Amino acid sequence: MNASSEKRLSDKDFLRVSQFIHREYGIHLPPAKKTLLEGRLRKRMRQCDINTFSAYCDYLFTEEGMKEEAVFMIDAVTTNKTDFFSEPHHFEYLTRHALPELIENQTGLQKKIIAWSAACSTGDEPYTLAMVLNEFTENHPGTDFSIVATDISTKVLDIARTAIYSEEKIVPVSYALRKKYLLRSRDPDKKLVRIAPEMRERVSFYRFNLMDAHPPIREPLDIIFCRNVMIYFDPETQERLIRMFYEHLSPGGYLFMGHAESINTMNIPLNFAAPTIYRKETPS
C-alpha cells in the first residue's frame, strides 16, 4: 500500500469500524458516510499520535483498544446537536396535557413524575425538562419529579454535569425562566451562565448505550424523551429500541420523539397522542 492510500480510510477498515459501531451502538453507517467517518476518526488519530487509518484500526481492535479507545472513538463519531426548548410544542403538550393526565392517574397523597432523557447530549434537554417540570409541580402541591439523563458520549456528559453554557446557547429560554433558573458568570466578559443548583440536583447523569436492555432506572417511567436519535438506526434497531421504551413506560406514560421519526410501521401498542408524541395504554 502506498503512502497516499494510507492517508485514507480503506474500504476494508471502513467496513470493520462501521460494522463494530452498528453491532455495539446501533448506529448505521452506510458507504455514503465513509467520508464523514474518515474525518471524525482523523481527529481522534491526531490525539492518539497515530499516522495511518490502518494502524489506528489495528490498535482499536486490540484488547487494550477495546478497553481504552472505543469509548473515545464513539465520542468522536457521534453527532451531538441539541438546544434548549428544541421542538417547543413538546413542552407545551407536556404542560397542558401530559402532566395533568399523569398526575390524575396516580393515587396517594404524594405524587411523582419520573422522566428519562434518553440521549441527553450536553444537557440542554434534561435541564429544559427540569425547568418545565419544576414550574408545573410548584403549581401542584404534593407533586415531585426526578430526571434521569443518559448518553453514550462521555464528552457531552461532562459538559452536562458542569451545566455551564454560553449566553448564545440559552436564547430559547424565556426571560422569566432565565431569571429564575440560570446564574450569570461573575465575569461579564465571559458571557456564560450556569444552571441553578436546585435544577442540577434534579437530574442524574449516566453513560448508557441504547443497545443495552436495562437502563439505569428501576422505577416505571412516566416520560421518555428520545428525539432525533432513531434516524441513525436501521429499522430493526429502531423497533427494538421502541419496544424497550414501551416496556419501561408506566401505564399512561408518554414517549416523545424527533420530528423526522415515527412508529407507524411498528407493531408496538403505543397510541398516537399528538405528532411525534405517543402514549402507552392504561389498563381498562
**Marked catalytic residue, from 8, 16, 40, 243:** 40
**Marked catalytic residue, from 75, 151, 200, 202:** 151
Residue type, 207: R
Element (H, E) at 20: helix 11-25
CA atoms within 13 Å, Cβ hemisphere of 246:
17
Joined together, the cell numbers standing for residue 10 give: 480503506
Q: Catalytic residue at 151? A: yes
- Identify whether the C-beta of residue 41 lies closer than 8 Å to the C-beta of residue 73: yes
- For 32-85, the DSSP string reads GGHHHHHHHHHHHHHHHT---HHHHHHHHTSHHHHHHTHHHHHHHHS-----TT
Strand spans (E) along 91-177 = 111-117, 143-151, 164-166
Cα-based distances in Å from 141 to 74, 85, 129, 201, 203: 43, 25, 18, 20, 20
Q: DSSP code of 19?
A: H
Q: CA-CA distance, 166 to 173, in Å (whole number)?
A: 12
C-alpha dihedral over 54, 55, 57, 61, to 10 degrees?
140
**Angle at CA of residue 215, ends 265 and 160, nearest 5°:** 105
Residues catalogued as catalytic: 40, 151
